[in-house]
Chains A and B, each alone.
Chain A
Amino acid sequence: MNQTHPLAVIRSPRTQFWDGVKAQIPNTSGIMPFGMLAGAFTTSVLQSELLGVLYTSGVFAGRAQMVAMQLVLDKSPIFVPLAACIVINLRHLMYGAALSEYFRHVPLRWKILSAFLMTDLSYIVGYPHFRKEADTPHAATSLWYYLGASIVNWGAWSTGGVIGALIGAQIPPSLSLDLVPTFSFIAALVNGMRDRAGFAAGVSAGIVAVIFAGLPWSMGLFISAIVGLIVGLVVEQRDEVSA
């Protein structure tokens, strides 16, 4: 026991995968109703269960999907929802950039799968784990934690999407299920705002987002995220100088 070779204690891909699954499971109860809503809304707008399922499981970008369907209802030309899709999903550039250093030696096929599965929730659960294990022997298998957390997320979302597509427009609007993603994001938001720099980033991004909410194609979302990042960095810098 006390003479174990270091390699022997590396957490196996299987262990990592199941730990990732377990970490994500509590979040599925928030993700499934949102998937249901997206599937139902898309099916009712496009009048096709197949398309409802494909948009939900295949595009796998709920926020962009909801906005796009609203734009389809408004009879926008196709480039408008496509542009909205770019702007709303720009945040994945930041997630991808943050995750990239842990993907240096990952084979292409797992990079492709990891990219397809990348969402707010896979980032929230996966990124801190990559960081935690970065300078440990477990770094060699951290990817499997990310994949476990991400696949559960996709599965719950897709299950919701299929149910939503089947029941179509029968979800009563009085349930306010459109607020489910907002309240489920509050946990991550509050946690990210516990220190001064994070707090400054959140408050400034939030205020700018409210001011720019009327901009077309959800442009305000991206502008306010950038403002929040800059304000957070400035506060962090000042705290370091005065410390």
Chain B
Amino acid sequence: MSLSSEVDTLYAWGLMIGMAIITFALRFGPLTLFSKIDLPRLAHRSFRLVIPAVFAALVFPVLFLVNGAPALNPFSNPKLIAAVVAVLVAWRTNHMLLTMLAGMVVIWGLKWLGVG
């Protein structure tokens, strides 16, 4: 991991406090506001879909892009092989730890074999 040159102290603390306030406000706001009013039925129907939508948006770019460019060849992008194994483990076990371990072990194994 690369080290930066000097980062301004005020900047570092200001960013930390700003991020803490923003993050807390986004977590606290709806939790307390919406508990006072009734949300439309549509909102409730969409809550179940939040997990697949958000997590696919988090996971897909990491798996399918290398340095910002699409990488669909599993021999140059071993993350794809690891992801297939992780998906199979998740499908069969629905277990987060096993899924994560399966993916990481494949990544380390392929790296050790010199793939990618």
Q: Assuming the A-B contacts A176-B104, A184-B96, A206-B59, are A115 and B27 also in contact, with contact meaning beta carbons closer than 8 angstroms in the complex?
A: yes
- Tell me if A104 and B35 are in contact (CB < 8 A): yes
Kindly state the separation between the CA atoms of A206 and B59 in the bound complex, as whole angstroms: 7
Kindly state the separation between the CA atoms of A164 and B45 in the bound complex, as whole angstroms: 40
**Most interface-central of A41, A45, A94 (chain B CB within 10 A):** A94
- Tell me if B34 and A185 are in contact (CB < 8 A): no
- Residue from the list A46, A127, A180, A213 in contact with B65, Cβ < 8 A: A213
Q: Assuming the A-B contacts A98-B50, A214-B68, are A183 and B103 also in contact, with contact meaning beta carbons closer than 8 angstroms in the complex?
A: yes
- Tell me if A47 and B15 are in contact (CB < 8 A): no
- Residue from the list A86, A106, A209 in contact with B57, Cβ < 8 A: A209
Kindly state the separation between the CA atoms of A114 and B28 in the bound complex, as whole angstroms: 8
A205 to chain B: closest CB distance in Å?
4
Which residues of A lie under 8 Å from residue B28 when comparing CB positions? 96, 111-112, 115-116
Interface size, chain A (Cβ < 8 Å): 102
- Tell me if B32 and A186 are in contact (CB < 8 A): no
- Tell me if B96 and A30 are in contact (CB < 8 A): yes
Asked if B52 is an interface residue, CB under 8 A from chain A, the answer is yes
Kindly state the separation between the CA atoms of A96 and B101 in the bound complex, as whole angstroms: 30
| Number of cross-chain contacts by CB at 8 Å | 300
Over the window 42-57 of chain B, the binary record of Cβ atoms lying under 8 Å from chain A Cβ atoms (1 yes, 0 no) is: 1101111111111111
- Tell me if A73 and B2 are in contact (CB < 8 A): yes
**Most interface-central of A54, A190, A191 (chain B CB within 10 A):** A190
Kindly state the separation between the CA atoms of A207 and B52 in the bound complex, as whole angstroms: 13
Closest to A71 in B: B15
Asked if A166 is an interface residue, CB under 8 A from chain B, the answer is no
- Tell me if B94 and A93 are in contact (CB < 8 A): no
Residues of A within 8 A of B (CB): 26-27, 29-30, 40-41, 44-48, 51, 54-55, 58-61, 63-65, 68, 72-73, 78, 81-82, 85-86, 89-101, 103-104, 106, 108, 111-112, 114-116, 118, 120, 123-124, 127, 169, 171, 173-176, 179-193, 197-199, 201-203, 205-210, 213-214, 220-221, 224-229, 232-233, 236
Can you offer 15 A-B residue contacts whose CB atoms are under 8 A? A44-B1, A55-B19, A81-B19, A96-B26, A104-B36, A183-B82, A187-B95, A193-B56, A198-B52, A206-B57, A210-B60, A210-B65, A228-B52, A228-B53, A229-B46
Identify the 4 closest CB pairs spanning chains A and B, nearest first.
A228-B53, A183-B103, A206-B60, A96-B30
Residues of B within 8 A of A (CB): 1-4, 6-7, 11-16, 18-20, 22-24, 26-36, 39, 42-43, 45-65, 68, 70, 79, 82-83, 86-87, 90-91, 94-104, 107-108, 111
